[in-house]
Structure 1
Amino acid sequence: MPGFLKKVDPLLIGIIAATIIAFIVPARGTFADVFSVATKLAIALLFFLYGARLSTKEALRGLTNWRLHLTIVVFTFVVYPLIGLGMRPSTAIISSELYQGILFLTLVPSTVQSSVALTGIARGNVPGAVVAASMSSLLGVLLTPLLVMLLMGAGDGIHVDTSVFIDISLQLLLPFVLGQLAHNFIPPVRDIAKSKATKIVDRGSIWMVVYSAFSQGIVAGVWGDVSVWEIVFLVVFSGVLVAAMLWVTKWVPERLGFSYEDRVAIQMCGTQKSLATGLPMASVIFGGATLGLLIIPLMIYHLVQLVMCSAYVSRLAAAPQ
């Protein structure tokens, strides 16, 4: 067993541990509020370190890589929704409410923090991932409600919470820009960013996000409305979907001539679905309706994608270049 544990990536162990702890001791009340703020600060620090580690030339190259961004947008807002529609026959074995949850998870934008962190671990195109994932979240503000209206018939009363623009700017883009300034004018900070500090922060922030997200679902009592069989179905479905999309998001970019770094960014940004964005979007779009069954597929997929993608990027990071 000790030899086996040495071969298991700490990132994967941390994700599983954070989930278990959330089920046993979920964050509640004041502690939940404090932990939520700490999580946001950790994410902001991560993006500051990414900005401090990268040269301005690299960052600008990530901003202007339109082929990369377009490819990720197509996977996120075209391929996934088509898969969601194709899952309609699953209502023969699961409730229609759970199917609606599966469809909803395919409509939400990509993650920002975890997709960028995983891209960095696998030595992918980090500046490209920062721009692409942030763009996905911003587009999701408009595209996710529109897709919900078209595909789920929930158009009445839909309105968009534009505060997501402010959140992304303050929590992600501003720290990245400040990191860029530090890279150019404060060499000691640049040296710290290129050390193991970034690796510690990116893994720690993922663990904090997992614990916080699952704590919210447990405190809200969303797991009481779903059977064990349905949970097993969702876990298997999520695993198959992540595996299939990891293959597709590798195969297509290879055929399109993308570099290794860009392929990693496409895989991590193109296979991730954001629980942090999806939960508030669901509450806004569906007007405060009971969200229990609707968000369970997204919660399960969120965990499965992190487990599988973290194991995948760990293998990429260990492989010789």
Structure 2
Amino acid sequence: MIFSSTNFKYLWHHPVTKIIKSFWFFYCLAIFIVIARFAPNFARDGGLIKGQYSIGYGAVAWIFLQSGLSMSTKKILANISNWRAHLTIATMSFLITSSIVYGFCVAIIKSNDNNIDKWVLMGIITTITCPTTVASNVIMTHDANGNDLLCVCEVVLGNLFGAFITPALVQMYTSNDLFSFGDPSSGGSISALYGRVMKQVGLSVFVPLFVGQCIQNVFPKQTSAYIGFLKKYNIKIGSYMLLLIMFSSFSTAFYQKSFTSVSHICIVFVCLFNLGVYLFFTLVSFCIARPFFLLKLFPEDPVKGKCSNLYYYSYKVFRPFYYNKKDTICIMYCAPAKTAALGVSLITSQYGNHKEHLGKLLVPLVLYQGEQVLTANFFVPILKRWVKDEIEQDKLREQEEADDEKTLSGTSDLEKLPTTDIDRQTVSSSESSTV
């Protein structure tokens, strides 16, 4: 045989083949986008399989069920108390990103360029005010060996507060003459938006995460065996579910004729603008997570009594804002990311009186979701190599702590044994009297 099983194995494990296989996510995404283009009614919101429930709830719930099964309860509680990271990501996600992008949109609309549709700019503003995405950042942070526990906490907190902050930001940015056409106050009831978002976050995030934690603590051996099985056969359930979520988003956009409602120049502009925004804010997130001046201001650990009180307390307050590498990866993935789940709900709820413009409003949101996932995937191997040394140090530290515990345990056992001749005689006499 010219093509034997040996040749097949050689080709399958060849370095070039491994590189090609590593991009499987992009191949699958391209296939799903083609299917969404020609059969948009299948997975769209309200479509054949009711994508808003089967995928919007089911796929996201499965992702967080996996997180609940694999994450330590103690570590989750520890990351919930990390208020500095929550403050950093919230400030970056809601205030810094939205204010800068709003400035760009004002400049574009004042240029009076007819090639850029004003409703598309309104969609950009709506997109950039949204909180961090529900699924993709958790998966990417996990794949890059970042702090995925902190990422889960950010998803929960960001989307809960985002249901209130995002509509307020949109209202604030549109309360002027430039964007008066996009004032959402004349749309549908905002209470419907809150209800839908709370329902989605509760059923697709809280409940599966809680169930996963319960199963993990009640059936630890079975859970460990299940997680081990997934790792052994490299089954990436989170990535599969993410593909379905994006499939549903593109299906909804194609069904709404989002990409045909604006000019090709406008589509190209949105693609390049979204890519530039994501890359820029990823860089800004890295700079905010690891500000170099903190190392200059606080070069040494303070020892009370050997340094001034000002240095000691300033170190305790400000130095923790220089995050370790695992937390930095989480911040880099969470801060620039924007959720389509809240974005679609916001647009459909608040722009109910502008149905003819829904497609244009959805263009930036759907394209941003796709571009952030594709770009984040490229960062995964780079960040994985960057954080490798820190992970090795953590493993060594954990091993040393385990060895210290064993040593202390052995010492306590030895203390119970007789160490002197008098002690041995006392033990011997007590044993003989007992006999």
TM-score where L is the length of structure 2: 0.69
SS for the counterpart of 2:236 is: helix
Match of 2:50 in 1: 33
Tell which deviates more after alignment, 21-30 or 201-210. 21-30
- Give, in whole Å, the separation in 1 of the partners of 2:235 and 2:67: 10
Q: CA deviation at 1:124?
A: 1.4
Matched, 1:51 2:87: no
Kept in 2, the 8 Å contact 1:249–1:266? The answer is yes
Tell which deviates more after alignment, 84-93 or 305-314. 84-93
Q: CA deviation at 1:30?
A: 5.2
Q: Which amino acid aligns with 2:384?
A: A
Q: CA deviation at 1:95?
A: 2.4
Matched, 1:293 2:355: no
Q: Which amino acid aligns with 1:162?
A: Y
Match of 2:331 in 1: 266
Unaligned runs of 5+ in 2: 1-15, 176-182, 292-320, 390-435
Q: CA deviation at 1:111?
A: 0.7
Q: CA deviation at 1:11?
A: 2.6
Matched, 1:172 2:205: yes
Kept in 2, the 8 Å contact 1:50–1:198? The answer is no
Matched, 1:11 2:28: no
Match of 1:24 in 2: 38
Match of 1:78 in 2: 95
Q: Which amino acid aligns with 1:65?
A: N
- Give, in whole Å, the separation in 2 of the partners of 1:105 and 1:99: 10
- Give, in whole Å, the separation in 2 of the partners of 1:184 and 1:216: 39
Q: CA deviation at 1:148?
A: 1.2
| Structure-2 change in CA distance of 1:96 and 1:42 (3 Å) | closer
Q: Which has the larger radius of gyration?
A: 2
Kept in 2, the 8 Å contact 1:116–1:129? The answer is yes
- Give, in whole Å, the separation in 2 of the partners of 1:33 and 1:267: 33
| Structure-2 change in CA distance of 1:199 and 1:60 (3 Å) | farther
What does the per-residue CA deviation read over 1:116-175, in whole Å, with 9 as the maximum and x for residues that have no partner? Answer: 111111111122111111211111111111111111132524523232222211211111
Match of 1:191 in 2: 225
| Structure-2 change in CA distance of 1:8 and 1:189 (3 Å) | closer
Q: CA deviation at 1:17?
A: 3.0
Q: Which amino acid aligns with 1:191?
A: A
Match of 1:89 in 2: 107
Q: CA deviation at 1:34?
A: 6.1
Q: Which amino acid aligns with 1:210?
A: M
Tell which deviates more after alignment, 23-32 or 92-101. 23-32
| Structure-2 change in CA distance of 1:42 and 1:287 (3 Å) | closer
Kept in 2, the 8 Å contact 1:115–1:268? The answer is yes
- Specify which of 369, 376, 389 is matched with residue 309 of structure 1: 376
What does the per-residue CA deviation read over 1:1-24, in whole Å, with 9 as the maximum and x for residues that have no partner? Answer: x75962643233333332233123
| Structure-2 change in CA distance of 1:263 and 1:191 (3 Å) | farther
TM-score where L is the length of structure 1: 0.92
Match of 1:101 in 2: 123
SS for the counterpart of 2:185 is: coil
Q: Which amino acid aligns with 2:342?
A: T
What does the per-residue CA deviation read over 1:36-61, in whole Å, with 9 as the maximum and x for residues that have no partner? Answer: 41553232122111111111111111
Q: Which amino acid aligns with 2:185?
A: D
- Specify which of 227, 237, 250 is matched with residue 214 of structure 1: 250
SS for the counterpart of 2:328 is: helix
SS for the counterpart of 2:335 is: helix
Matched, 1:126 2:148: yes
Sequence identity (%): 23
- Give, in whole Å, the separation in 1 of the partners of 2:72 and 2:166: 34
- Give, in whole Å, the separation in 2 of the partners of 1:234 and 1:4: 33
- RMSD of aligned C-alpha atoms? 2.2
Kept in 1, the 8 Å contact 2:59–2:242? The answer is no
Q: CA deviation at 1:216?
A: 0.6
| Structure-2 change in CA distance of 1:198 and 1:90 (3 Å) | farther
Match of 2:403 in 1: none
- Specify which of 274, 295, 298 is matched with residue 238 of structure 1: 274
Kept in 2, the 8 Å contact 1:110–1:272? The answer is yes
Match of 1:142 in 2: 164
Kept in 2, the 8 Å contact 1:22–1:211? The answer is yes
Unaligned runs of 5+ in 1: none
Q: Which amino acid aligns with 2:322?
A: G
- Give, in whole Å, the separation in 2 of the partners of 1:141 and 1:127: 22
Kept in 2, the 8 Å contact 1:12–1:310? The answer is no
| Structure-2 change in CA distance of 1:35 and 1:17 (3 Å) | farther
Q: Which amino acid aligns with 1:247?
A: L
Q: CA deviation at 1:307?
A: 0.5
What does the per-residue CA deviation read over 1:267-292, in whole Å, with 9 as the maximum and x for residues that have no partner? Answer: 11111111121011111122342212
SS for the counterpart of 2:130 is: coil
SS for the counterpart of 2:145 is: coil
Q: CA deviation at 1:312?
A: 0.9
Q: CA deviation at 1:199?
A: 5.2
* Higher-RCO chain (CA-CA 8 Å, sequence separation at least 6): 1
What does the per-residue CA deviation read over 1:217-242, in whole Å, with 9 as the maximum and x for residues that have no partner? Answer: 11121222111111111111111111
Kept in 1, the 8 Å contact 2:62–2:241? The answer is no
